[in-house]
Structure 1
């Protein structure tokens, strides 16, 4: 058992009770002072308000929130931060630079890089991540001697950083609709959908043998309708195991929509609906350029829509219809994607700012809705335990602490810190009841900046 004393904590409205009532999720939250939290096996077993610290308690000084969940990551894209801005261009020009970075990855280099990236996530307040992974093989497309070498490297990196990982093994068969994989894409591919399903089953068995399920789980991803032909979608719909999450890049670019309509007579969302792939287990990433019918289909199927606002701004993708999707029945989640920044607070704020710019209205998402998108909403799309959006009995004990007196946050109301805080204001991070980071330093690994500097030296 471990115990924490929180100076102030965001708790469920009934969390003063120790009988577990309300574990299904809080209807109301409040900022309570003097909150003691006890944990058993990494979960909150008892909460007391108006309490003082007891001997042995770990003191969390500041405002304690549930830790954030990162619903969409490509760890190796961190190589590109601050290196793709000399000149103009668009998403497709950026993609060529991304391919060059992918070509340099080896299992050893990737484990070192991903450990640093995951450590950066942890000190910023993330306790879980969904890694959308498609760099499976050697650069010429042949498997490694250990066929899951790249995947195991990512899982070992996550364990070193102490972050919960959902490893989304990705199906990537084509370079575009009716287009073969290019040489740069060869290491992403599999011979066909059935070969991918077989490799996915083997990966799940390998991960289960080496890693605890509450820390590392396996999910599936379809890269996009550009990269997965319709015949393969049909096979996946019939044979993908029902007990794992499924993610896809959806309608990130208008060119994707146009190509899909030309080839299949429907939008990417319509194509997924045609094959029964829209459901509550699906996470549609980006969903930037949707029709009204698309919005209705995604909402009606109770999908999760993963917005990555800082990446979508960085790549000039556009502003997705987040509010409309939420109102239609979709769950909104947040991710950092290509890691232009790794900061859950900036992603929350950028989501709302995009809505304001597009609508001319303020308050499109309340602070509470933003916090849910960054925690419970994002974790809903993962294979590891689901986070809560406020501290409550029965929830996993994944916490982040915000300094309420920094230059940025001074004077902010605790429940409105989503509009003032940044990752630089995160002073402590707890994962599974263990203090993992304090004041920007990882307790096991040290400074993420130093780790990143060393890892990035190995890439051109």
Structure 2
């Protein structure tokens, strides 16, 4: 197959009349620019590298537009979320995830990291054959998105606290139990859904003890993506300091959990020492600005983390909206509000955060990828450059003016998917789950 782009926006440059040759698997075999009118199977106007959503809880989409009237804070919101978690079964999870993932592809995402802890039945007893995980894999396949399943370790309800209520279905009882299930899941996915990347996640330092952190890291293959919620709330920091004498970042560092394969999520409340530690480890930091604003989490230290050596990436987390441009614009907007100056993160830095660095975060390869590279799958988002939002924008600055509704279609591994059809499918799939309200 051959795809022609009249303009292709890469992080550092805008190319004209780019022609890309693909093999049957959607992998780039060759490309060249300045080739106007060269015959192609698909010709598009303006394209950008497709985005990676590095932090998703698919079932949280059920909370959109339903938790605002009562006010409160993160911990009050969490109780509502737990009620939704308790109602999930494989069929409902498959339906809501199919809707969420279709909405993501329609918005220009080609890959997602699903931070998944709904492992078992509500009473904690296991499903047969990894039913919840297979439901997510099937939903991703139906939507056409590349899935990294971040299977999550969750062992306690907080520092010195047992598991309660909905948390019972999150746990495997021990690190050994989790690792046994993780390796069994790896074999199952390899046989039934080989395109799914199985990663791992530590839910948080409040859900996993210091000793178990080290055992979990030691029990995983070295190339597996490892994600962890970090310092989203000040209470987590205070409880960690009281229990261990360390910040959550320092505790993870002591356990050997901070390396280039690691992505820390949120990282909102950090000390200067934490920032230096994360930067020196070259971790990725998944900021989720629409969720962090919705929950009143606070502003993270994006510019400081970038200067220290960490890589910034974005996720939509609880799916208040699914719009990579909104996440990236808020990432830069938060940095502006914190520093009282403009242009803290350049358009090129934002394209990398949404694209190449995001894809590295959910890949088994930790090194930074190129946006267009022979031997790699082709993922593109096709934009309408003449909408009321985008008309007149410089192509490389569209990251700060476009929106998800400006995405006409998305190419995932060489296959083009029209956004209008995907949005209609998302609505239909989501309505399947509308049997009750929270």
Give a deviation string over 1:166-195, Cα, whole Å, max 9, x none: 001100111111100002211111111111
What does residue 47 of structure 1 align with? Answer: 31
Give a deviation string over 1:261-316, Cα, whole Å, max 9, x none: 00000000010111111111111000000000000100001111111111101100
Query: Shift of residue 55 of structure 1?
Result: 4.4
Instruction: Tell me, yes or no, if structure 1 residue 231 matches structure 2 residue 230.
Output: no
What does residue 454 of structure 1 align with? Answer: 432
The normalised TM-score by structure 2 is: 0.96
Give the secondary structure class of the aligned counterpart of 2:128.
Answer: coil
Q: Structure 1 residues 51, 455: closer, same or farther in 2, change over 3 A? A: farther
Give the secondary structure class of the aligned counterpart of 2:184.
Answer: helix
Instruction: Tell me, yes or no, if structure 1 residue 434 matches structure 2 residue 415.
Output: yes
User: Hey, what's the Cα distance between the residues in 1 that align with 2:236 and 2:357?
Assistant: 26
Identify the match of residue 362 of structure 1 among 342, 356, 360.
342
Query: Shift of residue 221 of structure 1?
Result: 0.4
Is this contact kept in 1: 2:224–2:364, CA < 8 A?
no
Residues 132-171 of structure 1: matches in 2 within 5 Å? 132-146=115-129, 148-171=130-153
Instruction: Tell me, yes or no, if structure 1 residue 10 matches structure 2 residue 9.
Output: yes
Moved more, 185-194 or 261-270: 185-194
What does residue 356 of structure 2 align with? Answer: 376
Give a deviation string over 1:328-373, Cα, whole Å, max 9, x none: 1111111000001101111110000001111101111000100100
User: Hey, what's the Cα distance between the residues in 1 that align with 2:128 and 2:377?
Assistant: 37
Identify the match of residue 324 of structure 1 among 299, 304, 321.
304
Moved more, 126-135 or 228-237: 228-237
Instruction: Tell me, yes or no, if structure 1 residue 338 matches structure 2 residue 321.
Output: no
Identify the match of residue 113 of structure 2 among 120, 125, 130.
130
Give a deviation string over 1:359-389, Cα, whole Å, max 9, x none: 1011110001001000111111113678856
User: Hey, what's the Cα distance between the residues in 2 that align with 1:120 and 1:53?
Assistant: 33
Is this contact kept in 1: 2:262–2:283, CA < 8 A?
yes
Q: Structure 1 residues 53, 302: closer, same or farther in 2, change over 3 A? A: same
Gaps of 5+ in 1: 12-27
User: Hey, what's the Cα distance between the residues in 2 that align with 1:4 and 1:211?
Assistant: 27
Residues 271-420 of structure 1: matches in 2 within 5 Å? 271-383=251-363, 388=369, 390-420=371-401
Identify the match of residue 404 of structure 2 among 423, 430, 454.
423
What does residue 169 of structure 2 align with? Answer: 187
Identify the match of residue 251 of structure 1 among 222, 226, 231.
231
What does residue 83 of structure 1 align with? Answer: 66
Q: Structure 1 residues 420, 131: closer, same or farther in 2, change over 3 A? A: same
User: Hey, what's the Cα distance between the residues in 1 that align with 2:365 and 2:3?
Assistant: 21
Aligned length: 436
Give the secondary structure class of the aligned counterpart of 2:121.
Answer: coil
User: Hey, what's the Cα distance between the residues in 1 that align with 2:147 and 2:292?
Assistant: 23
Gaps of 5+ in 2: none
Query: Shift of residue 447 of structure 1?
Result: 3.1
Is this contact kept in 2: 1:166–1:384, CA < 8 A?
no
User: Hey, what's the Cα distance between the residues in 2 that align with 1:160 and 1:72?
Assistant: 20
What does residue 156 of structure 2 align with? Answer: 174
User: Hey, what's the Cα distance between the residues in 2 that align with 1:47 and 1:122?
Assistant: 24
Query: Shift of residue 36 of structure 1?
Result: 1.3
Is this contact kept in 2: 1:29–1:390, CA < 8 A?
no
User: Hey, what's the Cα distance between the residues in 1 that align with 2:5 and 2:234?
Assistant: 47
Residues 65-104 of structure 1: matches in 2 within 5 Å? 65-104=48-87
